[in-house]
Amino acid sequence: MEIIRDPKAMQEIAIDLFKRSRSVGFVPTMGALHDGHVSLVKASLHDNDETIVSIFVNPTQFGPDEDLDDYPGSIDEDTKRLKSLHLDYLFLPKKEDIYPQNYLTYVEVQGLTNRLCGLSRPTHFKGVTTVCSILFHLTLPTVAYFGQKDYQQTLVIEKLLKDLHFPITIKVMPIVRDKDGLALSSRNQYLSGNERISALRINQSLEKAEHLIHEGERNVYILKKAITEHLSKSKDIHIDYISICHPKTLIDLTQLTIGKVLIALSVYLGGTRLIDNRIVKLAN
């Protein structure tokens, strides 16, 4: 596994791979790697001639009161883990090389970013699309891998790729969960023992809503009420949002009539913000 820190060196390697018609899978991460990230890396290694993983804790996607300074990091462990997967390239740029002094360029997808997570994190997606644009230019991937846990992020990236004509395909991999159903997230490390137990209500509440839908419930108010009631049984859970919406536009629904719906939610447990979602197919 080759470790590259300099963006220019990364781009030179990427150009060489492109000239040699090597297919390149790219997995952008912020480190603190868990089995969800590993599933993306394994998919890329399986699908492509070469795989590049980046680890970069991107400051522009954190709001002023968020956890940038405490974001979990374990470069040595992450490096060991990636080496054991026989990764080809690990890109570890420094903050000042991605955002040098007097950096002035931002990339923003509108509309989709004002809903769901965008309501409580109004600058988040602008940071994500900016850093992903930079990373895509440096790694020139054929395919970029993202996890469904960040469902809204995958839609925003898809739109970025389409609108700016990036010649990149996005591949979205399923959510990886612990045995007890909690979606894997680097931020799960912040949870206390009791918060970790309360967090199980997140997936349970999604399961409940899915079950109600399969039983024929089509009223979104009733579905949201069931989710809220289940979450609220743990006093340490504070709901940020619950959305039952169109899976492509993220526009909230009041009655379920279309083929598929997205149920997405975000909660705070102490200072930790966790998200999860489910796509539910409606039986005709």
Could you list the residues that contact ligand PAF (CB under 6 A)? Answer: 28-30, 58, 61, 128, 131-132, 150, 153
Strands of the sheet containing 50-55, edge to edge, are 2-4, 89-91, 50-55, 24-29, 143-147, 169-173
Instruction: Name the minimum Å distance from CB 132 to ligand PAF.
Output: 6
Instruction: Name the minimum Å distance from CB 65 to ligand PAF.
Output: 18
Beta carbon nearer to ligand PAF, 57 or 267: 57
Distance CA 8, CA 97 (A): 10
Distance CA 209, CA 205 (A): 6
Quote the crossing angle between the two packed helices 220-232 and 200-214, to the nearest 10°: 150
Distance CA 152, CA 134 (A): 20
Instruction: Name the minimum Å distance from CB 263 to ligand PAF.
Output: 20
Beta carbon nearer to ligand PAF, 33 or 280: 33
Instruction: Name the minimum Å distance from CB 216 to ligand PAF.
Output: 36
Beta carbon nearer to ligand PAF, 132 or 250: 132
Instruction: Name the minimum Å distance from CB 70 to ligand PAF.
Output: 16
Cβ atoms 104, 82 nearer than 8 A: no
Beta carbon nearer to ligand PAF, 150 or 276: 150
Quote the crossing angle between the two packed helices 124-139 and 151-163, to the nearest 10°: 60
Q: Helix, strand or coil for residue 245?
A: strand
Which of 37, 137, 165, 230 is an active site residue? Answer: 37
124 classed as catalytic: no
Q: How open is the CA angle 138-140-141, to the nearest 5 degrees?
A: 130
Beta carbon nearer to ligand PAF, 161 or 231: 161
Tokens of 81: 């883990």
Residues assigned a catalytic role: 37
